[in-house]
A and B are shown apart, each in its own frame.
Chain A
Amino acid sequence: MTTALAPPLLEDTKLGPNAGGLYERLNIWTGLGFGIFLGFVAWVVSHATLQGSNWGSDMVVTCTMLGWVIGFNIGIGTFNAPIRWMLGHDQTHEDELYVAGVGQGRHRYLKYCTDHKVVGTQYLVLVMVLFAVGGTLAMMIRTQLITAHSSFLDPQTYNAIVTVHGMVMIIATIVMVSGPFANFIMPIMIGAKDMAFPRLNAMSFWVIFSAVPCILATFFLGGVNAGWTTYAPLSVQAPPAMDAFAMCIIVFVVSVTVAGVNTIVTVVTMRAKGMTMGRLPIFTWGSIIGAGLGLYAMPAFLLAMTMMITDRVTGTSFFVAAYGGSGWLWENVFWIMGHPEVYVILIPPVAAVLEIASTFARKPVFGYKVAIAGFVAIASLAIMVWAHHMFTTGWAPNLAGPFMLTTELISIPTGIIFLCTIGTLWKGSIWTRLPMYFVYLFIWNFIIGGVTGIYLSDVPADQYFHGDMFVTAHFHYTLLGGAMIGATAAVCYWFPKMSGRMLNERIGKVAFWLIAIGIQVTYFGQFWEGFQGMPRRVAYYDPQFLSANQMSTIGAYTLMAGWLVFLYMMLHGWRNGKIAPANPWHSKTLEWKVPTPVPLENFLVDPVVTSDPYTYGEGVPDGQEVPDFAPSDDPELVPAGSAGSGAQTDAGGDH
């Protein structure tokens, strides 16, 4: 490795008094202010002009939500650049630096900031908040079900909580890896200085941020009682809360689409010299395949929700059979999105698990190219399986066989990726630190979630299990036990690079055991309920299901305790954790070769990649132990004479 003289740090640039222009005055508070103001104006105007008409309440709610979203994004600065572009007033160099966070310290986290590391951190916080909301709702559900006829919640409220719990968790899990890690980590991994479109990156975050209040508002608008799948015609008949729900999804789709395009373009066009596609870290592959699948799925989500909202607001009849529509149309369009979306959630954390397994086993990813092919195969098959959600609906019975076949075929590439994970660990010199605990848990949960999925893909078995708690247990094992635990491993792994501090592993192990036990007890309880035939989404149940429900609820409280300990560990680590060295895991990928905190534009000297990402044990003669760790914790991609780490390199002087 050669080094160059230290260039001046961008974050040391002295900006003029007019740098940033309008951005200087905008932040989350102006966003909230504009959003509330415009939402209120939209409510007043629509209430005065539309309330008396058909579908008046739905129109008012839709206009109010639209006003909020547009107002918030005006107030945070999302539209500044497009409007300046249109008027021919491009941003100056100083404006660009200001918007990238130069000289703003901690305030940049509350502003429209184009630095991908800030956006990644913003996503991480948002995802944690969403999980907190979704988790609280889950605990309310389990508390209701601790007895057969609990009076904790009435059925209407229970159904509303089930719906919002489901969709909040879906939103959170879709962005839980692609938001924080594909933003913060992935550009550094490939040797890029930022995402391909930094402004779109900031936009994707603030747009999704503005979507969240829409779904939370449903509780104050009568609640959505249709479940997260919002099957028509139930959702067409739901209270006005359904309009806010649909608006949330429409805005969310915009965010995910923009973010997905940005991720793919970044990887295709921004790689460092020598970083060929064959040298990409496996996590990067997972990110772009997940993003690509998202680009396929999201238009269907957009269409489904737009048609839903027009049915409710303008009286169209896409899903109302009496007027020429069909509930089957909803199910088709929704599940054309819905099943690929599962893999949009799953693929990036699985790829992160492979990345972590390689680092801690001190071995290359086993079957690197096969694993990539497996991801591609999963993504390809995922778009051909949607009707397995409709086996019991009576739609196209002749297609049940082909859809059963395609669904079962998915287990082949999934199994191959599972084997790649095991093969990576096999005979490795495994260093069991906190991220690895969650990798082990992922493997355990993922196999249970995967195997039970095969039962549900089988038409005769699905006739029995459809709509009961077995399905609930299966997808929670897959999405919580698999994807979310994979994402948790990723948090533990990359936290030192993102925060500049180490997590307390003793606290982490307490969290781990509570979470691990909690998952098994909760969802084995639900498998038991499912085998007994207990339906999903019921506030009251027959006493014969009592024992299984009590087991599940006890597990859920254990799980909640685990997550609370985990949250405490993160907050404690962020504030009081030990200062992290640049490469605490002695990993080989590029994100660990830059200083911590990572400077603006990431690389003080540009890397030129000359080998694949997993050169562990290279040059070690046969029969000798692979040396676990490099002798130095210093970052390698710093110029001669430059500091190895420390807060002085941070854009704002703090993290």
Chain B
Amino acid sequence: MSFTTTTHDDHDHGHGHGPAVEGAENPGGHHEPAELRDHKERLALWMFIGGDALFLILMVFSWFYLRTLNSNGMWDAAQCTTANPCEDGLGNPIVAQITRADPWHAVIIAGLTILAAGFVWLAEIGAKKNTTKGAISGPAGIAFLFMVLAIAMQIYQFQVLPFTTIDGGYASTYEFFMGSTLAHLLILAFIGLGLWIRSSRGRHAGGTWYRVRLIRFFAVWVALSTVILTVVGSLFA
């Protein structure tokens, strides 16, 4: 491998050796051009979202797999009656009846998550325009509020479900969907709280608006995954 050299400051992206570059968020940390930081962080986030999407796909696969197999009739047998007996995928008689979850709870949670993502988007627009810090922290605060409401609603849904985890494949998978949504909402709320606090301290105005965009990407993904799970859990029960 042939190579030549440049001076150190031309291409600095390490532990802070070299002059601070405009756009770097941390004045003492990794002095990198904002473009490079944005590129790195966006790529990493897309990969994390990609991994999360695979997790989601496999959850949905599990749902349809167990629903189709309907082992021992323990999926959701509410539509089966004595006059209209059913069989599971293996030809066994269905022996259990389970009440479905109220879809409106999931719809409300999805709606709150969409609203949270929308307000994060507004915060991003404020950051990009480099306006007052209130233009960022205001929408960020409202977004965080919606995240908290979504979490509260998710916990409430757990409490009012007409079944428990032991009630078969449908109940198991539905509650797993809810748990996954709750975990995502908790992570989003942590980031949302950070966005709110940081934007209140003027951390996200101007050159680092792309950081808010990263949060928006994640918030939109959480909203999208919540919608997908709501649709699957409600329409394909």
Contact = CB atoms under 8 A, between A and B. Distances in A.
Interface of A: 1-4, 7, 10, 82, 85-88, 90-97, 100, 114-115, 192-194, 196-198, 257, 260-262, 264-265, 268-270, 272-274, 279, 295-296, 298-300, 302-303, 306-307, 310-311, 314-318, 321-326, 328-329, 332-333, 336, 588-590, 593, 600-615, 637
B190 interface: yes
Interface in B69-88: 69-75
Contact of B17 (A10, A264, A589): A10
A193 B13 contact: yes
Contacts of A332: 61, 65
A615 B2 CA distance: 8
A310 B176 contact: yes
Nearest to A318: B172
A326 B58 contact: no
A257 B51 contact: yes
Contact of B2 (A86, A323, A610): A610
A608 B4 contact: yes
B39 interface: yes
B165 interface: yes
Given A310-B176, A324-B71, A601-B14, A197 B190 contact: no
Contacts of B1: 279, 588-590, 609, 611-615
Contacts of B62: 303, 307, 318, 329, 333
Contacts of B201: 88
Interface stretch (B40-48, B101-109, B116-124, B225-233): B40-48
A606 B11 contact: yes
B44 A261 contact: yes
A273 B74 contact: no
B173 interface: yes
B97 to A, nearest CB: 12
Interface string B145-176: 00000000000000000001110111111011
Contact of A329 (B48, B66, B168): B66
Interface string B117-155: 000000000000000000000000000000000000000
Contacts of B176: 306-307, 310, 316, 318
B66 A324 contact: yes
Contact of B51 (A82, A262, A295): A295
Nearest to A268: B43
Given A299-B52, A303-B59, A316-B165, A198 B4 contact: no
A604 B8 contact: yes
Nearest to B20: A93
Contact of A315 (B47, B164, B198): B164
Contacts of A303: 55, 58-59, 62
B28 interface: yes
B59 A298 contact: no
Nearest to A270: B13
Contact of A1 (B4, B29, B170): B4
B14 A194 contact: yes
Interface residues of B, number: 68
A592 B85 CA distance: 74
A92 B25 CA distance: 11
Interface in B174-218: 175-176, 179, 190-191, 193-194, 197-198, 200-201, 203
A605 B8 contact: yes
A298 B70 CA distance: 27
A318 B3 CA distance: 57
A7 B8 contact: yes
B50 interface: yes
B172 A4 contact: no
A269 B51 contact: no
A251 to B, nearest CB: 15
A2 B4 contact: yes
B53 to A, nearest CB: 8
A606 B6 contact: yes
A94 B27 CA distance: 10
A468 B165 CA distance: 37
Interface string B23-40: 001111110000010011
Interface of B: 1-8, 10-17, 25-30, 36, 39-40, 43-44, 47-48, 50-52, 54-55, 58-59, 61-62, 65-66, 69-75, 164-166, 168-173, 175-176, 179, 190-191, 193-194, 197-198, 200-201, 203
A323 B74 contact: yes
Contacts of A302: 55
A170 to B, nearest CB: 19
A292 to B, nearest CB: 9
A94 B43 contact: no
Given A323-B168, A324-B74, 19 more contacts: A7-B8, A86-B194, A88-B194, A88-B200, A96-B16, A115-B15, A193-B12, A265-B44, A307-B62, A316-B166, A325-B172, A326-B69, A332-B61, A605-B7, A605-B8, A606-B8, A611-B1, A611-B2, A612-B1
12 contacts: A2-B5, A7-B8, A10-B17, A86-B193, A193-B17, A269-B43, A295-B47, A315-B165, A322-B71, A333-B62, A601-B17, A615-B1
Nearest to B62: A329
Contact of A324 (B6, B54, B169, B198): B169
A269 B59 CA distance: 32
A394 to B, nearest CB: 11
Q: Which 5 A-B pairs have the closest CB atoms?
A: A93-B28, A324-B169, A324-B74, A193-B14, A316-B172
A10 B8 CA distance: 12
A316 B175 contact: yes
Contact of A322 (B44, B72, B171): B72
Contacts of B10: 606
B29 A90 contact: yes
Which of A4, A85, A270, A316 neighbours the largest number of chain B CB atoms within 10 Å of its CB?
A316
A62 to B, nearest CB: 14
A269 B45 CA distance: 14
A107 to B, nearest CB: 18
B186 to A, nearest CB: 13
Nearest to A316: B172
A323 B71 CA distance: 7
Contacts of A270: 13, 40
Nearest to A322: B72
Contacts of A273: 6, 11
A324 B17 contact: no
Given A303-B58, A325-B66, A197 B29 contact: no
Contact of A317 (B4, B51, B166, B203): B166
A593 B2 CA distance: 11
A509 to B, nearest CB: 30
B14 A4 contact: no
A265 B58 contact: no
Contacts of A198: 15, 30
A260 to B, nearest CB: 8
A7 B66 CA distance: 64
Contacts of B26: 90-91, 96
A323 B169 contact: yes
A358 B26 CA distance: 42
Nearest to A294: B51
